[in-house]
Structure 1
Amino acid sequence: MIARERVRGMPVNTWYAPTLSEIIALGEQDILGSLMPNAALPPLDKTPEQRQASMERQWSGAIAALNACFAAMVPSSSDLGHSAIGVVLSGPAPILQSGLADHVASWTMTAELSLADWLPYHLLPSSETSAPHPFSTPSTLPLLGHDPLAQEQFCLALTPQFGVVMTLGRDTTGDPVFLVSFVPDVVMQAWRSLRSRLVLSAPHVLSQLDHLVQQFTPPTPDYRVVTQFHRLMLMHLPEPNHGTVHNIDVAPSCPVDGFQPMPVQGQALHSTHLDTHGRADVELLRAIAHEVRTPLTTIRTLTRLLLRRKEVTPDIAKRLAMIDRECTQQIDRFNLIFRAVELETEASKPCAQSLASISLKQVFHDGVPQWQERASQRNLTLDVRLPQTLPMVVSDPVMLNQMLSGLIDRITQTLPSGSHIQMQVSLAGSQLKLQLRSHLDHKGDRPIPDPVSYGFFAPTLQSIGDLLMFQPETGNLSLNLDVTKNLFQALGGKLIVRHRPHHGEILTIFLPLETRSEA
Structure 2
Amino acid sequence: MVSLADLRRCLAEGVPAGVGSEDTVRRQWWAALATLQEDFLLQGQPLDGLWLAAPLPALYEPALLQQLQGWVWAPRELDDLLPGSAPLLPGAGRAASTGGFQRLVLEDDDGTDPLLLVITPQLQVALCLDGPPEGRRLIVRFDPAALSEALRLIHERLLARDPEASSSLRSALQRLGPLRSDDQLGLRFWPRMGERLAAMAPSLTLQPLVHGGTARDRPGGDTPRAISSELALLEALTHEVRTPLATIRTLIRSLLRRGDLSPVVRQRLEQIDGECSEQIDRFGLIFLAAELQRQPGGEATLENHALARTDLSQVLRQHQELWQRQLARRGLELELEIAAGLSPVLSDPARLETTLGGLIDRFSRGLPSGSRVTVSLLPAGSRLKLQLSSEGHRLEDTASAEDSEQRELVGPVLSWNPATGSLQLSRQATQRLFHRLGGRLTERSGSGLTVFFPVC
TM superposition score normalised by structure 2: 0.52
Moved more, 352-361 or 328-337: 352-361
What's the counterpart of residue 249 of structure 2? 300
- Aligned-residue offset at 1:488: 0.7
What's the counterpart of residue 376 of structure 2? 424
What's the counterpart of residue 405 of structure 1? 357
What's the counterpart of residue 448 of structure 2? 506
What's the counterpart of residue 273 of structure 2? 324
Flag the 1:377–1:99 CA change in 2: closer, same or farther, 3 A. closer
- Deviations along 1:359-413, whole A, 9 cap, x unmatched? 2233112222222333333333332210112322121223221222122112221
C-alpha separation in 2, matches of 1:364 and 1:402 = 11
**2:235 alignment partner, one of 276, 280, 286:** 286
Flag the 1:310–1:376 CA change in 2: closer, same or farther, 3 A. closer
What's the counterpart of residue 396 of structure 1? 348
- Aligned-residue offset at 1:432: 1.3
Q: Establish whether residue 415 from structure 1 lines up as the match of residue 367 from structure 2.
A: yes
- Aligned-residue offset at 1:484: 0.7
- Deviations along 1:14-71, whole A, 9 cap, x unmatched? xxxxxxxxxxxxxxxxxxxxxxxxxxxxxxxxxxxxxx965699479959x97x9799
- Aligned-residue offset at 1:164: 2.9
Flag the 1:282–1:319 CA change in 2: closer, same or farther, 3 A. same
What's the counterpart of residue 470 of structure 1? 416
- Deviations along 1:251-279, whole A, 9 cap, x unmatched? xxxxxxxxxxxxxxxxxxxx994453343
The 8 Å contact of residues 414 and 458 in structure 1, kept in 2 or not, is answered as no
**1:165 alignment partner, one of 161, 185, 194:** 194
- Deviations along 1:430-466, whole A, 9 cap, x unmatched? 211111222239xxxxxx99x85799x9796332222
What's the counterpart of residue 302 of structure 2? 351
SS of 2:391's partner is strand
The 8 Å contact of residues 272 and 466 in structure 1, kept in 2 or not, is answered as no
Count of residues paired in the alignment: 293
The 8 Å contact of residues 227 and 293 in structure 2, kept in 1 or not, is answered as no
Flag the 1:381–1:277 CA change in 2: closer, same or farther, 3 A. same
The 8 Å contact of residues 440 and 452 in structure 2, kept in 1 or not, is answered as yes
The 8 Å contact of residues 164 and 182 in structure 1, kept in 2 or not, is answered as no
- Aligned-residue offset at 1:96: 10
**1:181 alignment partner, one of 198, 211, 215:** 198
SS of 2:295's partner is coil
- Aligned-residue offset at 1:98: 11
C-alpha separation in 2, matches of 1:79 and 1:403 = 43
Please give the residue correspondences for 1:207-356 in structure 2 after superposition, counting only pairs within 5 Å: 273-274=222-223, 276-346=225-295, 350-352=301-303, 353-356=305-308
SS of 1:505's partner is coil
- Aligned-residue offset at 1:480: 0.5
**2:434 alignment partner, one of 470, 488, 501:** 488
Please, which runs of 5 or more residues in structure 1 have no aligned partner?
1-51, 81-94, 104-133, 137-155, 167-178, 184-233, 241-270, 442-447, 515-519
Paired letter, 1:159: R
What's the counterpart of residue 425 of structure 2? 479
The 8 Å contact of residues 390 and 448 in structure 2, kept in 1 or not, is answered as yes
C-alpha separation in 1, matches of 2:282 and 2:123 = 46
Paired letter, 1:489: H
Paired letter, 2:231: V
Flag the 1:418–1:311 CA change in 2: closer, same or farther, 3 A. closer
C-alpha separation in 2, matches of 1:79 and 1:371 = 45
- Aligned-residue offset at 1:333: 0.5
C-alpha separation in 1, matches of 2:343 and 2:285 = 25
SS of 2:416's partner is strand
Q: CA RMSD in A?
A: 4.8
C-alpha separation in 2, matches of 1:303 and 1:485 = 35
Flag the 1:350–1:335 CA change in 2: closer, same or farther, 3 A. farther
C-alpha separation in 2, matches of 1:55 and 1:410 = 28
SS of 2:409's partner is strand
Flag the 1:310–1:99 CA change in 2: closer, same or farther, 3 A. closer
Flag the 1:474–1:161 CA change in 2: closer, same or farther, 3 A. farther
The 8 Å contact of residues 272 and 482 in structure 1, kept in 2 or not, is answered as no
SS of 2:448's partner is strand
Flag the 1:333–1:274 CA change in 2: closer, same or farther, 3 A. farther
- Deviations along 1:191-223, whole A, 9 cap, x unmatched? xxxxxxxxxxxxxxxxxxxxxxxxxxxxxxxxx
Flag the 1:310–1:421 CA change in 2: closer, same or farther, 3 A. closer
Larger-gyration structure (1/2)? 1
The 8 Å contact of residues 462 and 471 in structure 1, kept in 2 or not, is answered as yes
Question: Quick check: which one's helix share is greater?
Answer: 2
The 8 Å contact of residues 494 and 511 in structure 1, kept in 2 or not, is answered as yes
SS of 1:509's partner is strand
